[in-house]
Chain A
Amino acid sequence: MSEVLSNNNNSIHDDADNVKPPIASVGIIGWIRHNLFNGPINSIITLAILYILWKVVPPFVNWAFIESMWTSSGAECQQADGACWSVIYANFRFIIFGFFPHDQQWRPLVAMILLVTLLLCSQNRNNWKKSLAYAWIIGLVIMGLLMKGGVLGLPPIESSQWSGLPLTMLLSVFGMVAAYPLGIVLALGRRSTMPAIKSLCVIYIELIRGVPLISLLFMSSVMFPLFLPEGLTINKILRAQIAIILFTAAYVAEVVRGGLQAIPKGQYEAAEAIGLNYYMKMRLIILPQALKVVIPPTVGVLISAFKDTSLVVIIALYDLLKTTQSTISNPKWMGFSAEAYIFIALIYFVCCYAMSSYSRRLERELDK
């Protein structure tokens, strides 16, 4: 008996070293079994989804890529079964630059490239030095001059002709950049112990949040000029820009307030106990922690602000969405709205995805 046992032990020992896991539990097959066919319900769902994909994907690929037209005229498109990407090819410059004079469209292009370059440089926190601030100031002046013209032999361009993607970028970048600090100030104000400041901030935030952005834009374009003295007009884009900033700031303020409340009281007390005044306490101790906590919701607010800039169509500003709509209302290109909307959806998606992936990277960096 003992001999058998010891034999057994030996053989178990020998086998255990060489035993491979069952084929069905590792590798691709294991993964599929574990994730897709894990029980009857999951198996049914997997099969159903496979069926739907089978029904949807091949026809879409067929429509979008195989039978599609890329550089044809509108009339040829009408004959074809597939997608008519020609609508974008043929109207590309109008969709992107709108009414900006055709031979001058390199100017908003250079301005946008400059802006994107500056944004990309600002992503890296190692670059956050004085020189970057100067680069932004110089860059903004150059962008302004490029858009406006009137110097260095550039013909002046009325701001009513600014449209398309440059306008969308202008409204959203400046909207976000100005709304963020304003929102922080409002949040601090709302938590202030000074009753006048506190109630002012509460009233502001609640009033603005209680009103849709559309109505603010209407007010800025229709009502606001009524209050101005005769002869004085404020640029329509600037008015929309201010409306967007004021609106976004109220939302940023509430998000930041959440962050301020998440910081334990001990941090405030420790900062006070070493003699920091209010400004230093907030700037050095509280805000760095609070703003980090609220990066995800802040980016949420900023992304929706970016998309909300498309509402300026209702006060007849020609942003990216509006130039696209005008294109597809042209009789020559009637009926190809899906293609055009897919195209600008892609542009919006790229921008929003860039923002959200940047925020994730920033969070990771700050977590170190």
Chain B
Amino acid sequence: MSENKEIQQKKADPEDTPIIRILGMHKWYGEFHVLRNIDLNVRRQERIVICGPSGSGKSTLIRCINRLEEHQKGQIIVGDIELTNNLKNIEKIREEVGMVFQHFNLFPHLTILENLSLGPIWVKKVPKAEAVDTAMYYLEKVHIAEQAKKYPGQLSGGQQQRVAIARSLCMKPQVMLFDEPTSALDPEMVKEVLDVMISLATEGMTMIVVTHEMGFAKSVAHRVLFMDYGKIVEENEPDEFFNNPQHERTKLFLSQILH
């Protein structure tokens, strides 16, 4: 736990301009109002955990940040680029924002090494040898370098998710988005993935994590957001959030997931 305390102390710099600014953002699927008036600023090096019941819009929210989903109203500004229909801007933002999916989504027809080096080579136009070096560096980091020549199908779920994290890191992103990264894993593999995420946190990566791992939220997050019906119902520092929730809905949710 002492290690985790250390993480806590390394606070984000409040003076810095936020790396992500979301202002009065709404999203509809057809007539269905999924996200309602979202306001959120994320500072550099800040770690945010988003929780909430299923269907509350938490995944949709982070998928809007790299434009996998389109918002219809309000503003999302990443760095100094606003997300609009401008394809060039969207591609620029995606270079800066890494994403890890619930179902890993590795490319099954490519080796682990090719999965990692593809983005740098094609998007960042990095020379191949350099991209391979970077890929190996991050594979070492997620403790999986010996699997570089294998295909995703030959790896366990936990290993695949660690590869997916390394794949995002290879693009040297400013922000990492995690969409329920441990929900599709067998229980005994959750820890190896969380460990990688914790070590990423210690290095000061800006992270937005949608997860049900409340232990992770308590020890790593600077802020915990609770969402329901497409709104951010409550946000607070983890200690306050878990020990002294303000809203009835939050209390109910916490009582159901913390046994």
Contact = CB atoms under 8 A, between A and B. Distances in A.
Interface of A: 264, 266-267, 269-277, 280, 284-285, 288-289, 292
Nearest to A288: B109
Nearest to B63: A269
Given A270-B107, A284-B122, A289-B109, A275 B91 contact: yes
B66 interface: yes
Question: 9 closest Cβ contacts across the A-B interface?
Answer: A270-B105, A274-B119, A266-B105, A275-B94, A273-B99, A275-B123, A275-B95, A280-B122, A288-B109
B152 to A, nearest CB: 11
A289 B151 CA distance: 14
14 contacts: A266-B101, A269-B105, A270-B107, A271-B107, A273-B66, A275-B119, A275-B123, A276-B119, A277-B91, A280-B123, A284-B118, A288-B109, A289-B107, A289-B109
Contacts of B87: 277
B180 to A, nearest CB: 13
Nearest to A366: B109
Contacts, number: 56
B50 interface: no
Interface residues of B, number: 23
Contacts of A269: 68, 101, 105
Nearest to B67: A272
A274 B109 contact: no
A78 B27 CA distance: 85
Interface in B97-132: 97-99, 101, 103, 105-109, 118-119, 122-123
Contact of B106 (A270, A272, A288): A270
Contact of A274 (B103, B108, B171): B171
Contacts of A288: 109
Contacts of B107: 267, 270-271, 285, 289
A271 B106 CA distance: 9
Contacts of A270: 99, 101, 105-107
Contact of B168 (A266, A274, A284, A292): A274
B58 interface: no
